[in-house]
Amino acid sequence: MPSTTRPSAEAQPVLAIDFGTSNTYVTKCPGDREDPVGVDFGDGRDGIATAILYRDGKEPLIGHVALEEFGDAGTEHEDYRIRAQFKPDLVSSPEARTDARDFLVGLLTLARRQHKDIAPLQRQVIFGVPSEASETYRDALRAIAEEAGFGEIKTVDEPKGALYFHLQRK
């Protein structure tokens, strides 16, 4: 059973998630230096589409693969349900919270399958949130991320995260 104990905060590596309405970006950084590296999920695109395709009797697909599979299926698969654009509704919609959780579970599953070293329980995990996000929204996102397997997360206003990145890159 994996340990849920995190390394000390002093040299703890960081996993940063820009959980966007349309696309999600994953970046990791060693704890001992500012050297962020984006995680490529293998399709050569920047980020992964924030979308999930539910298929009766099968594991859901996420990202661009989900969108492409749904588009290619046409009307052949009445059992397909595509979900996207759920991020803004996390507070008001139980269905959006479920979709978000399932998407994040799928993200961790995809990372494991592709042998991507993102190990959220071994890192400080930061999720970007819109600066106007309420505390209720932040609490909902924290609960969803924890349920999905990211452990306890910290939220950072998205404009501040972008500013930190650009200042670090000069």
* Whether the predicted pLDDT of 4 surpasses 90: no
Asked if 29 and 35 touch (Cβ cutoff 8 Å), the reply is: yes
C-alpha to C-alpha distance for 122 and 30, rounded to whole angstroms: 11
Of the chain, the percentage scoring pLDDT greater than 90 comes to: 60
Give per-residue pLDDT as tens, 102-111. 999 999 999 9
Q: pLDDT band for 35, please (50, 70, 90 cuts).
A: confident
* Whether the predicted pLDDT of 6 surpasses 80: no
Q: What are the Cα distances from residue 71, in Å, to 55, 68, 75, 81?
A: 13, 5, 9, 11
* Whether the predicted pLDDT of 74 surpasses 50: yes
* Whether the predicted pLDDT of 28 surpasses 80: yes
- What per-residue confidence (pLDDT) applies to 117? 87
- What per-residue confidence (pLDDT) applies to 3? 46
Beta partners for 157? 129
| Mean pLDDT along residues 10-37 | 85
Q: Exposed, middle or buried, 111 (CB in 10 Å: 0-12/13-18/19+)? A: middle
What residues have CB less than 8 Å from 65, skipping those under 6 apart? 43
Here the tokens at position 167 are 């200042």
Q: pLDDT band for 88, please (50, 70, 90 cuts).
A: very high
Q: What is the DSSP string of 16-65?
A: EEEE-SSEEEEEEE-TTS---EEPP-SSSSSSEESEEEEETTEEEEEHHH
Q: What 3-state class would DSSP assign to 141?
A: helix
Determine phi and psi for 56, rounding to 5 degrees: -55, 130
| Mean pLDDT along residues 66-70 | 93
Q: pLDDT band for 31, please (50, 70, 90 cuts).
A: confident
Predicted TM-score (pTM) of the model is 0.85
* Whether the predicted pLDDT of 34 surpasses 80: no
What residues have CB less than 8 Å from 97, skipping those under 6 apart? 90, 140, 144
